[in-house]
Structure formats: C-alpha cells, structure tokens
Amino acid sequence: MLRYFTKKNPATVVQEVFREYVESYRQYLKIAERRAIELSPDRKLAWQNVFRLQNLLKERQALRFEYVFGRDKFDGVNLRSLSSIAARLDNGWSEADEAELKENLSTYRGISQEIEDIQSKWDSNALGDSSRVVDQDLKYCDALRALADRTRKLEARLAQ
C-alpha cells in the first residue's frame, strides 16, 4: 500500500529521466571537449565548433521535448525509451512544430539560427586525424562509458 502512495506519475518520470539524460550528455560533452583540446590544441577552434554544435543540438532537442511534452503531442510514441523520444523529437519533427516553436520562443529561434550558421560553414576536414587520437584517449573513453552507463540506468527507469 505504501508503494502506491510513493509511486510517481509516469509522465513525471518521463520528464525527469529526459532532463537527466540531457544533463548527462552535457557533462559528457564538457569532458570530451576538454580532452579533445588537450590532445590536439592545434585544432582547438575546430573542436570548439564541433562541441558547440553538439551542445546546441542537445539544447534544441531539450526545448523540443518541453514543447511536445507540454502539449501532450507525443502521439502514441512509446515513452519507455530515450531512443523513441529522440526519434519523435528529431525524425518526427514537423514543419508545423518548427514554425510554432520558432514563432513563440526566441531562445529556440536563436539556437536554430546558430545551428544553421555552424552547419553552413562546416569543414569536414577541419579535425584532420585528431578525432582518431581523441577516440583512443582513455579519459575520453571513460566519459563515453559513463554516459552509456547512465543512459542504460535512465532507460531502465523509463521501462518500469
């Protein structure tokens, strides 16, 4: 009987888990950026652009989540996995959703513009071989594993 009173609303759990996932991803990006710049300081600007873009994409996804979640527009999406939520927010994102959010939220509009700006100037050769060096770094790999572990734990919370 006590469990009945302490169990959280499933919608609250989804919202908390997604927010924790976004924060975990941001933590990973901080570590990854620091390691990338330490390992290849000659590519500092390129790495900063890479991680700025990743942060902006995650922030855009978080704003989309709040928009869709707040309007109960997940339309039958299984909210028991982060991948199904991400698919709705990225692949299932409509032009109408985009237009409404850009019109009503200046923060979103600014983030979208900055994403477009970075992508329009993207140089796929800017990192050279430095990404291979970073991928092999133990501290970077530890941060990636920590993110994967945290994501698995969050997925388990959603599945309950």
* Predicted confidence (pLDDT) per residue in 126-140, tens digit: 999 999 999 999 999
- For the CA atoms of the chain, what is the radius of gyration? 18
Q: What is the mean pLDDT of residues 63-79?
A: 85
Q: Dihedral (C-alpha) 122, 18, 29, 99: value to the nearest 10 degrees?
A: 20
Quickly state the pLDDT bin for 6 (edges 50, 70, 90).
low
Strand, helix or coil at 105? coil
pLDDT of residue 160: 80
Question: What does the mean pLDDT of the chain come to?
Answer: 92
